Amino acid sequence: MSQSPDVPHPDPVPLVVDLDGTLIKTDLLWEHLARLLRRNPLWLLPILLWWVRGRAFLKRQLARRIKIDPATLPYQRKKPPGAKSFWPPHPISRWPNP
């Protein structure tokens, strides 16, 4: 006999959703870039040099310098499919730890 969808499962499995473009309206890379450049536009030269070394290197450098509060991100208003019982979201990022 299967459980009713309204009854909580004894071992809940989290719904994992991609942030960029799915849960939030923008991309975390662009959020980090905008916040760092807003803080000091002179970061543009180091950003370009980091980007030459690769996207992963750029993300690591940005993550070391900018901490984003998940509450300040521009979330989508509509729920992703299958997110009925998992709303509001609890974001998890794949951004590297500095």
The answer to whether the CB of 17 falls within 8 A of the CB of 80 is yes
Find the mean pLDDT for residues 74-91.
Answer: 64
pLDDT at 82: 61
List the one residue out of 80, 97, 21, 29 whose CA is nearest residue 58. 29
pLDDT at 69: 83
Give, rounded to a whole angstrom, the gap between the first and last alpha carbons of the chain. Answer: 48
pLDDT tens-place string over residues 62-80: 999 998 888 888 877 776 6
- Sign of the Cα torsion 23, 14, 89, 74 reads negative
Find the mean pLDDT for residues 11-23.
Answer: 70
What ranges do the domains of the chain cover?
17-67
Nearest-angstrom CA–CA distance, 91 and 70: 7
pLDDT at 17 over 80: no
pLDDT at 70: 80
User: Is the whole-model pTM more than 0.85?
Assistant: no
